[in-house]
Structure 1
Amino acid sequence: MQVGDIYFNSKIDDPDFKVCDDNNVLQYYNFGNGIQYEGEKLAINKYFIGELKSKGLKKDTGYITIRFIVNCEGRLGRFRVQEMGNDFNEKEFSSDLKNQLLNLTKGMSGWMVGEHQGKSYDYYQYLTFKVEGGSLVEIMP
């Protein structure tokens, strides 16, 4: 067990999502290749900017981080959402914005399988969305 591990929660997680090795889920940066997404960060930005419907959203400001696991088959699961204001204290965003970002993240199909020395691994990934006045202004990492 390590700090930040995402364990299966029957109340919120898809029971069909499986990791290959629950005891060895790596961090995305362990592969030394940056973000493991087809088209890299440019494609991620384009996807969210094109799909997010911000009209009529509450004028929230702060950060929404979505953490998840990409398994050894490239499937996504065990999503967790953390919300905070610009002061990095907990904050609750509008459910519309939060749900849109979560559902869009769940729908991303370009995550690559984590590989090292010819072996496939599960790994943790996150996306942090910087929001100002209800508009998405940056996606990290």
Structure 2
Amino acid sequence: MKNKLNILLLTSFLLAVAIYFWASALHSKQVGDIPFDLSVDNSEFVVCDEEYIVQYYSAGTYYKGGEKAIKTELRELITQLNFEKSGIITFRFVVNCNNQIGRFRTKMVNENLKPTSFRYSNIKQMQETIKNLKDWHAGKWNNQPLDTYYNLSFKIQNGKITDIF
């Protein structure tokens, strides 16, 4: 009886240790994290807490006026750019606790959701236009502003931007 109890306790302990390390690994490296990269990021853009950047939807990060205001401010970009194919371009970036944006990363897929690429000059112009959006509001937790990730996606059809979401 004592042997069975010892085996049960040892098994429980090992299981608890495994769960702890698994949970630690999940917490420390989230899919989509954007670590600072000197080769592409502006060193003047700083986050308030490098270890704690959350998703925008869990913290209430927003742009003043919402999606409608973003579309209105990007209207010129929408009508100006021409693309060689259809697909979706997603910009993922950080809105820091001071309402500034930076650390841009881009993902591009074709209409079949397969990875693709678009003309670099168009991507650069889109990113610079997004950087000019100035009414970001950082998310909050316990009434304290914090750093959050944000996504803006552009749907391209027949060479033109048809939607921003």
Settle same-fold status: TM greater than 0.5: yes
Q: Name the CA distance, whole Å, in 2 between partners of 1:25 and 1:65.
A: 19
Query: Would you say 1:2 and 2:30 are equivalent positions?
Result: yes
Moved more, 95-104 or 120-129: 95-104
Query: What displacement does 1:29 show?
Result: 0.3
- The equivalent residue for 1:46 is 72
Query: How many correspondences in the alignment?
Result: 137
- The equivalent residue for 1:79 is 104
Q: Name the CA distance, whole Å, in 2 between partners of 1:53 and 1:66.
A: 19
Which structure has the highest helix share of the two? 2
- The equivalent residue for 2:149 is 124
CA contact 1:52–1:100 (8 Å) conserved in 2? no
Query: What displacement does 1:24 show?
Result: 0.8
Task: Show the 5 A alignment for 1:61-80.
Answer: 61-80=86-105
Query: Would you say 1:138 and 2:159 are equivalent positions?
Result: no
Query: Would you say 1:12 and 2:37 are equivalent positions?
Result: no
Query: What displacement does 1:96 show?
Result: 2.8
CA contact 2:83–2:160 (8 Å) conserved in 1? no
TM-score normalised by L of structure 2? 0.78
CA contact 2:53–2:147 (8 Å) conserved in 1? yes
Moved more, 76-85 or 46-55: 46-55
CA contact 2:79–2:160 (8 Å) conserved in 1? no
Aligned-residue sequence identity (percent) comes to 31
Structure 2: runs of 5+ lacking an equivalent? 1-28
Moved more, 22-31 or 46-55: 46-55
Q: Name the CA distance, whole Å, in 2 between partners of 1:72 and 1:83.
A: 28
Letter in 1 for 2:68: L
Structure 1 segments, 4+ long, off by >4 Å, are none
How much is the aligned-residue C-alpha RMSD, in angstroms? 1.5
